[in-house]
Amino acid sequence: MNILLLGSGGREHALAWKLAQSRLLENSGDKLFASPGNPGVAEHAELVALELSDHSEVLQFCSAQRIGLVVIGPEAPLVDGLADSLRSAGVPVFGPSKAAAQLEGSKAFTKELCARHNIPTAGFKRVTSASEGLTALDSFAIPVVIKADGLAAGKGVTVAMSRDEAETALAEIFDGRFGAAGAEAVIEEFMEGEEASYFALTDGHTVVPFGSAQDHKRVGDGDVGPNTGGMGAYSPARVLTPLLEGEALERIVVPTVRAMADEGMPYSGVLYAGLMLTREGVKLIEYNARFGDPECQVLMLRFQGDLGEVMLAAAENRLATIDPPRFSDQTALTVVMAAQGYPGTPKAGGAIGGIAAAEAEGAKVFHAGTAMNGDQLVASGGRVLNVTALGARVGEAQAAAYAAAGRIDFADGFCRRDIGWREVEREASGI
């Protein structure tokens, strides 16, 4: 069959790489299309220029090319209801409906769902003005967490270490810094613990675990500096032991999927749970309605099944009939090479070389923000490449990823030097 993959980052390159190996594409006429894609995605797919906010344009393409599966990578088209438009037209789609994508698109929606269904998460208050926020703050201890309600490209969350900082964060939200995403805010109790990301595939009813990862959100070594979309990740996150994973599944993910179905918004696609491992147990920080970026890159390196078949089974409500997804026991680790200036204004246009040399070291290099300038591969975004490698243990995966990263020639780029450090320390101390 023909498949259409939507999105343009490192996540989509990893998905394209894995989809291209699917039996769904085994007949000679079968094609993988991607829009808008990037030069890495183009190694596996035919790129097409579609305006993703124009649903009728996407539908016309699907009908003209007899697309049998659409895979939606990023959150914006999901929250915009593209999956609904495709499903109404009978096109199988991997990704949740607009109503279900509220799990990512509205923090207040998710917190209230958790409250209604007794799903463990931080205590919260929902506020609709700065003055209401200031009053509500009185009932929270410091530190306190302030969040814009809607999608804010990962920038809408402040962990405030003082009342002043909390007040400033509230003022910024209600002054319109995040546009419509800041029409409401959520104030949350601060949770202490280590974070882990947990993934599950679901067709709205059946839930299938799909691995764990740990991301590094701060720009600097040692987890300092401003937040980013993620500077590196590794999988699995062993801190999420089988016992804790069971707790996350039974107390958080399964009850959420059941609640969404019961409330008439069945969730279909991948559900990404950001978890805090607290002393009182596993608690939900937030949901994403998509694979993480760069978490997807490490999951795809370890995933041993047929991604197309699994995604189609989720799209066609038959996840209960497939074999459980299998993952390599090895650890995968990815290092993000970013353009100087990121997460502020990244320097665009820097020349990139050495990818073949890096891959000759055994790594897989996924393209995130790259473009072709004539024959030259150049940087065209903040996060530019994801140098990804496997190892028997995290220390080996880290060494392999950095050896490969050392072969990349990207004078205008930088990367963190310590991706995986928590796990490497634990491994070194024999825990």
What does the binding site for ligand GLY look like in residue numbers (CB under 6 A)? 215, 229-230, 288, 292-293, 295
* CB nearer ligand AMP, residue 195 or residue 361: 195
What gap in Å lies between CA 47 and CA 27, rounded to an integer? 19
Q: Which of 1, 93, 145, 298 touches ligand AMP (CB under 6 A)?
A: 145
348 counts as binding ligand AMP under rule CB under 6 A = no
Provide the β-strand partners of residue 372. Answer: 377
* Nearest C-alpha neighbor of 272 from the set 193, 197, 191, 209: 197
Letters for 210-229 (x = contact with ligand AMP by CB under 6 A, - = none) are -------x------------
Angle at 37 between CA 209 and CA 79, to 5 degrees: 55
Span interacting with ligand AMP, options 187-195, 295-303, 399-407, 423-431, rule CB under 6 A = 187-195
Nearer to ligand AMP, 166 or 208 (CB): 166
**132 forms part of the interface with ligand AMP (CB under 6 A):** no
Nearest to 30, CA basis, from 62, 65, 60, 70: 65
Per partner kind, with CB cut-offs from 5 to 8 A, the member of ligand GLY, ligand AMP, none near residue 412 is none
Structure tokens at 51: 């305006």
Cβ-based nearer residue to ligand GLY, 17 or 272:
272
Residue 145 touches which of ligand AMP, ligand GLY, none (CB < 5 to 8 A by kind)?
ligand AMP
288 binds, among ligand AMP, ligand GLY, none (CB under 5 to 8 A by kind): ligand GLY
Q: Tokens at residue 345, please?
A: 């204004």
| Tokens of residue 86, six digits | 């495709």
CB of 61 to ligand GLY, least distance (A): 27
* Strands 124-127 and 157-160, bridge-based pairing: unpaired
Q: How many CB atoms lie within 10 A of CB 220?
A: 14
Number of residues located near ligand AMP, criterion CB under 6 A: 13
- The residue nearest ligand GLY at its CB is 230
CA end-to-end span of the chain, whole Å? 47
Phi, psi of 47 (to 5 degrees): -80, 140
* 230 binds, options ligand GLY, ligand AMP, none, Cβ within 5 to 8 A by partner type: ligand GLY
240 binds ligand AMP (CB under 6 A): no
Query: Whose CA is closest to 201, among 81, 361, 65, 308?
Result: 308
CB of residue 229 vs ligand GLY: minimum separation in angstroms?
A: 6
Q: Which of residues 259-298 bind ligand AMP (CB under 6 A)?
A: 274, 285-286
- Which listed option, ligand GLY, ligand AMP, none, makes contact with residue 295 (CB within 5 to 8 Å by class)? ligand GLY
Of residues 230 and 308, the one with the C-beta less far from ligand GLY: 230
Taking the C-alpha atoms of residue 177 and residue 240, their distance in angstroms, rounded to an integer, is 35
Q: CB–CB of 302/199 below 8 Å? A: no
Would you say 233 or 312 has its CB closer to ligand GLY? 233
Q: Is 74 helix (H, G, I), strand (E, B) or coil?
A: coil
Contacts of 65 (CB under 8 A, 6+ apart): 2, 4, 31, 33
Which of 188, 203, 295, 423 is in the footprint of ligand AMP by CB under 6 A? Answer: 188
CB of 220 to ligand AMP, least distance (A): 15
Nearest approach in angstroms of CB 91 to ligand AMP is: 31
Two structure tokens written together for 109 = 């929606």
R_g of the chain, CA atoms, integer Å: 21
How far is it, in rounded angstroms, from Cα 344 to Cα 342? 5
Picked from ligand GLY, ligand AMP, none, the partner binding residue 293 (CB below 5 to 8 A depending on kind) is: ligand GLY
Q: Which of 274, 350 has the CB closer to ligand AMP?
A: 274
Binding mask 73-92 for ligand AMP (x = CB under 6 A): --------------------
- Cis status, amide bond into 36, omega within 30 of 0: yes
User: What 3-state class would DSSP assign to 94?
Assistant: strand
Backbone angles phi, psi at 367, to 5 degrees: -85, 135
Residues interacting with ligand AMP, by CB under 6 A? 122, 145, 147, 157, 159, 188, 190-191, 195, 217, 274, 285-286
